Structure 1
Amino acid sequence: MGDCTCRVLRSLILCLLFLLQGANGDNPYRFFTWKVTYGDIYPLGVKQKGILINGQFPGPHIDAITNDNVIISVYNYLKEPFLISWNGIQQRRNSWQDGVYGTNCPILPGRNFTYVMQVKDQIGSYFYFPSVGLQKAAGGFGGIRIWSRPLIPVPFPPPAGDFMVLAGDWFKTDHNRLRLLLDVGHNLPFPDGLLINGRGWNGYTFTVDPGKTYRFRISNVGITTSINFRIQGHKMKLVEVEGSHTLQNTYDALDIHLGQSYSVLVTADQQPQDYYVVVSSRFTPRVLTTTAVLHYSNSRRGVSGPVPAGPPNHVAWSLSQARSIRWNLTASGPRPNPQGSYHYGMIKTSRTIMLANSAPIINGKQRYAVNGVSFVPADTPLKLADHFNIAGVFNLGSMPTSPNSGSGYLQTSVMSTNFREYVEIVFQNWENTVQSWHIDGYSFFVMGMDGGQWTPASRSRYNLRDTVARCTTQVYPKSWTAIYMALDNVGMWNIRSEDWARQYLGQQFYMRVYTNSNSYRDELPIPKNTLLCGRARGRRTRPL
């Protein structure tokens, strides 16, 4: 059989597979084939073993339009299990494709798995990353752009170009060595540097034409460090945060915490020369800085002078900026209706969930916990155990909904919630470090953040009108952040620290959003190609 015939046959099989899962066949399909390999990389001038996708570091971008069906066939040529997760892609009715160990069996070496997703009712800027162990510290990440449909108005003129900026901390130490350090109870070392699109100092160039405006989509893909982003001599107009069009405030510098993504417009309105694009670490004992180059196409002069200094290194500046980020109520989102038509602040919440992070020592080793519970993976992905009714893998209610005063303990923690609840979640941080929290499968409303202990009286400071909706939020030192969230997406969803050492050592849990309905309108059936492992091995994947 020829190569052309094989490709056609494979496409037909994948289309049929997606249709069987309840996808909307009226929307376009986008097919990707990714080969995941090791490769030599030199991001900080030192040879390292990186994780490449189709030979690239960072990996290839994903471009899609609202409601597109995205089919990604991943071939694992590593010598270790591998999974990819999609930071911010909501996976409507489809936690089967979430790409974390609580929902998926890893792709074993020499095997492949095809992710089948629809970017239902989404726009905006996101990224993907490897979720197993500390593989994120070796690469395997890339950007995701979901464009608005042609008939949906976007609240700014089409830019002359669209740049992905994948920035974050980097370690020269091999990712498996970093994992072993955590396993034996040590903390990670201080990062060796910062990268912009996989490159170190002045290693990457963005070329612009004078007088034109460009969109920069900036994601913090690091594993331990908040960053600040700025461009020498240029203003940045914020237009989008993780799928929400924002009020178009202008900033000189933007704090971007772990796992967060922002879109800004930058106009090339300065003298034609080269300018520094700067990323620096925030709230670290020593400030790390790296640069790329903004190159005017008619420039005859390279970058020069000192790198622009960052903002004051104190929380008050960053907190003030975070509060200034608001929803654009007059703009359309993925659908042709104003974003503000959803009056989130007028809906009564059904309950309040309080989540407090901590750093206990358990069995003589450093662990991290939520409400005193330090998560340990089960021998079977929780989603599979739930679907096949496999007893003994996890217990509903094993994740308390408020902090306890005792010492930390190990548990495969799962919080029980019900479909269509509308909940208030308060992240309480009593540590001296900035925390960053992500909820898979969801976008939530960031109601407020402030210092000290949250109390019911704190609600008087909530933004009930135009707070931004996003999927990742920061919690400042000795502070709280409160969110509202509609539990409108059935499944088993990961809630985690985006500090990957904390996540790996237990600062995460799963939220089971349950309905007794068997309707595919609420949740898609188990895919035919689901990988089975642990106690689910040998089970039939036919939907019940």
Structure 2
Amino acid sequence: MSNKTLQISLSFLLLLSLFSLLQVKADDPYRFFTWNVTFGDIWPLGVKQQGILINGQFPGPQIECVTNDNIIINVFNSLNEPFLISWNGIQQRRNSWQDGVYGTNCPIPPGKNFTYILQVKDQIGSYYYFPSLAMHKAAGAFGGFRILSRPMIPVPFPPPSGDYTILAGDWFKANHTDLKAILDRGQRLPFPDGILINGHGWNGNTFTVQQGKTYRFRISNVGLTTCLNIRFQGHRMKLVEVEGSHTLQNTYSSLDVCLGQSYSVLVTADQQPLDYYIAVSTRFTSPVLTTTAILHYSNSARGVAGPPPGGPTVEIDFSLNQARSIRWNLTASGPRPNPQGSYHYGLINTTRTIRLANSAPIINGKQRYAINSVSFIPADTPLKVADYYKISGVFYVGSIPDRPTFGGAYLQTSVMEANYREYIEIVFENYETTVQSWHIDGYAFFVVGMDGGQWSSSGSRKSYNLRDTVARYSIQVYPKSWTAIYMPLDNVGMWNIRSENWERQYLGQQFYLRVYTPSNSWRDEFPIPKNALLCGRAAGRKTRPL
């Protein structure tokens, strides 16, 4: 037996011992995955690059599961540097220990493994995973993550004839190490070199359909720096789901998908049996980058011809109005048979307002990015680990203000305190001339309003949608504009709030929200896992069993 086989066998025995300790209902199935993360050569834009592969694949393998399934992923790090995977939109109820970002987890050392134990509790919809350390996201290791509805739970559209995933994003020809070096020198990244669809450039993907049938396309923007727009030549898209929420089924000829966002659309093959372009372009950029895939009718009489369909121009109003048109389907079931809209978010009084303003300061002669004048720097120990072991000096709560100061920017390991079961309003205020994208780990939130100009407590709230706004986990903020969300703090833990622009995230535009309760009950938060990796000032400490 080889050392690798022995290692996997021992890991499997460890998994069995872990599962025997988990208190999960017997009717919640388990799905097991073993992933080996390696470097490998890739040529997505015709230039050889060092990619990060999962089981030899770029992009990585897709996870497909059902609401409430338990997902067991044993990740072997065969790179020569630390590695972590995070789960974009998978909420991890009471369990930030599995979040996979450096503020909560120690990285997997080279040559070691870590087993993620996730439960997709009360979730449906379209998500993805990605590598969260350094600039690994610029090298791959991302993939799709589908959560299907349980049998007998009604879905508000007929079963499609096929279900496709489109992972689209801007891409650089430079290796991820070179991009990291640029940022470490305090410089901005250059303009991207192209756009990829499922790891391929121009016409590198073909999606086959049969005439007269309807197909679901799950579209995620897994890129680094730009919003995207997608069009299906000669076809309309019917929007049916946004990041775990069924939506009113509006139709669109083109759809903006900003960084970190995921949408599900239905496309009916109702045109002549030919081949058609699926075009993806950058939004709000000059120049505009475009790439294509092929929508291929099984009885096609001709390949694609002519130029791909053009997208919207740089105007903001088109995108803003489209974003406002995305509404919750209040009559549809979610992961449970009750209507999604039964949670009357607009009738609950908020207990706190947090205002967050992004900026792009120069600190110590280097480009940085900040929130409320604070540019985040990682600590020597993951914040969740330090909090659990009560290790002083790693961070302190209140190290970032909860409203803009417009003062001089500074470096800090920023953590904001929040109380469990509060119901809060967060306003993202963008005083810059570029579109911003934001994500909050561990939570879905209600996007109650967005508009141009400066937010005000007296006037802006009058335009809030308090009836059928969509619940999601990533949101854009347009230039010189604001976006407001409502969020119930129902998930204890240390949760990352970050820019989805990876240059900005890497250079400080993020912080952690410590959602706290004095209770020490498993009802509120799971204890540290028995297999937790410990590092920094926590190295050598013992974990307690699950």
Deviation string 1:348-369 (CA, Å, 9 cap, x unpaired) is: 0001000000011100101000
Q: Which residue of 2 aligns with 1:332?
A: 333
Q: Which amino acid aligns with 1:255?
A: D
Counterpart residue number, 2:167: 166
Return the offset for 1:4. Answer: 10
1:453 aligns with 2:454: yes
Q: Within 2, Cα distance between the matches of 1:4 and 1:510?
A: 39
CA distance in 2, matches of 1:286, 1:6: 50
Q: Structure 2: which 5+ runs fail to align?
A: none
1:94 matched to 2:95? The reply is yes
* CA drift at 1:311: 1.4
Counterpart of 2:123, as a letter, is: Q
Structure 1 position 518, deviation (Å): 1.0
Match status 1:275 vs 2:276: yes
Q: In structure 2, what is the equivalent of residue 20 of structure 1?
A: 21
Deviations 1:451-493 (A, max 9, x none): 0110012000000000000000000000000000000000000
Is 1:382 the counterpart of 2:375 in the alignment?
no
Q: What is aligned with 2:479?
A: 477
Rounded to whole Å, the distance in 2 between the matches of 1:68 and 1:460 is: 41
2:446 alignment partner, SS class: strand
Counterpart contact for 1:21–1:525, Cα < 8 Å = no
Matched, 1:369 2:367: no
- TM-score, normalised to structure 2, is 0.98
CA displacement, residues 432-456 of structure 1 (integer Å, 9 cap, x when unaligned): 0000000000000000000011001
1:459 match: secondary structure: helix
The residue number in structure 1 matching 2:210 is 209
State the secondary structure of the residue aligned to 1:37. strand
Amino acid paired to 2:125: G
**2-side partners of 1:22 and 1:437: how far apart?**
34
2:542 to 522, 537, 540: 540
- The code of the aligned residue for 1:540 comes to K
Structure 2 CA distance for aligned equivalents of residues 15 and 117 of structure 1: 15
Query: Is 2:117 the counterpart of 1:125?
Result: no
| Aligned-pair CA distance for 1:424 | 0.2
Secondary structure of 2:354's aligned partner = strand
For residues 161 and 507 of structure 1, what CA distance do their matches in structure 2 show?
39
**Is 1:295 aligned with 2:296?**
yes
Task: Provide the C-alpha distance between the structure 1 equivalents of 2:13 and 2:261, rounded to a whole number of angstroms.
Answer: 36
Does residue 106 of the first structure (1) align with residue 107 of the second (2)?
yes
Taking the aligned partners of 1:25 and 1:101, their CA distance within structure 2 comes to 32
Matched, 1:511 2:513: yes
Q: How far is 1:26 from its partner?
A: 3.0
Q: Percent identity?
A: 74
1:404 and 2:432 are equivalent in the alignment:
no
In the TM superposition, what whole-angstrom CA distance separates every residue of 1:82-104 from its partner, at most 9, and x where no partner exists? Answer: 10000000000000000000000
SS of corresponding position for 1:502? helix
User: What do residues 46-74 of structure 1 show as CA deviations (whole Å, max 9, x unaligned)?
Assistant: 11110000000000000010000000000
CA distance in structure 2 between the aligned counterparts of 1:524 and 1:136, rounded to whole angstroms: 29
SS of the residue corresponding to residue 239 of structure 2 reads strand
Q: Provide closer, same or farther for how the CA distance between residues 22 and 367 of structure 1 changes in structure 2, counting only shifts above 3 A.
A: farther
Q: 1:488 to 1:249 in 2, by over 3 A?
A: same
Offset at 1:305? 1.1
2:460 counterpart SS class: helix
Shift of 1:29: 0.3
User: Does the 8 A contact of 1:22 with 1:520 survive in 2?
Assistant: no
What is the CA RMSD across the aligned residues, in angstroms?
Answer: 1.5
3-state secondary structure, aligned to 1:426: strand
Identify if the C-alpha distance between structure 1 residues 313 and 523 changes in structure 2 by more than 3 Å, giving closer, same or farther: same
2:469 is matched with: 467
**Contact 1:23 1:118 (C-alpha < 8 Å) held by counterparts:** no
Report the secondary structure of 2:336's partner residue.
Answer: coil
What is the one-letter code of the residue matched to 1:475? V
Residue 218 of structure 1 corresponds to 219
Q: Residues 10 and 112 from structure 1, CA distance in 2 versus in 1: closer, same or farther, beyond 3 angstroms?
A: closer
Kept after mapping to 2: 8 A contact 1:19/1:25: no
Partner Cα distance (1:13, 1:148) in 2: 30
**Offset at residue 15 of structure 1 (A):** 4.1
1:229-378 correspondence runs (5 A)? 229-378=230-379
| Alignment deviations for residues 197-227 of structure 1 (CA, whole Å, 9 cap, x no partner) | 0000001100111111000000000000100
CA gap 1:4/1:453 in 2 versus in 1, 3 angstroms? closer
Cα deviation for residue 23 of structure 1 reads 3.7
Secondary structure, aligned partner of 2:523: coil
The SS at the match of 2:318 is helix
The aligned amino acid for 2:321 is S
Q: Partner letter of residue 281 of structure 1?
A: T
Instruction: Letter of the 1:518 partner, please give it.
Output: N
For residue 406 of structure 1, report the CA deviation from its aligned partner.
1.1
Corresponding residue SS for 2:164: strand
Shift of 1:157: 0.4
Match of 1:96, SS? helix
1:59 alignment partner in structure 2: 60
Matched, 1:84 2:85: yes
d(CA) in 2 for partners of 1:172 and 1:195? Answer: 11
User: In structure 2, what residue type is equivalent to 1:62?
Assistant: I
Looking at structure 2, the residues matched to 438 and 371 of structure 1 have their Cα atoms a distance apart, in angstroms, of: 16
SS at match of 2:264: strand
Q: Give 2:375's aligned amino acid.
A: S
Helix, strand or coil: the match of 1:509?
strand
Q: 1:15 to 1:336 in 2, by over 3 A?
A: farther
1:439 aligns with 2:440: yes
SS in 2 for 1:384: helix
- Measured after TM superposition, the shift of residue 22 of structure 1 is 4.0
Distance (whole Å) between structure 2 residues aligned to residue 472 and residue 387 of structure 1:
28
State the distance in 1 between where 2:434 and 2:537 align. 39
- State the AA in 2 paired with 1:69: N
Structure 1 counterpart of 2:520, which letter? N
Q: Which residue of 1 is the match for residue 423 of structure 2?
A: 422
Letter in 2 for 1:170: W
TM-score by length of 1: 0.98
Q: Which residue of 1 aligns with 2:181?
A: 180
- CA 1:181 to 1:8, structure 2 compared with 1: closer, same or farther past 3 Å? closer
Q: After TM superposition, where is structure 1 displaced by more than 6 Å over at least 4 residues in a row?
A: 1-9
What is the distance in 1 between the residues matched to 2:51 and 2:113? 20
Summarize the Cα distance change of 1:447–1:293 in structure 2 as closer, same or farther, 3 Å threshold: same
Amino acid aligned to 1:54: N
Write the letter of the residue equivalent to 2:422.
Answer: E
CA shift for structure 1 position 18: 3.7
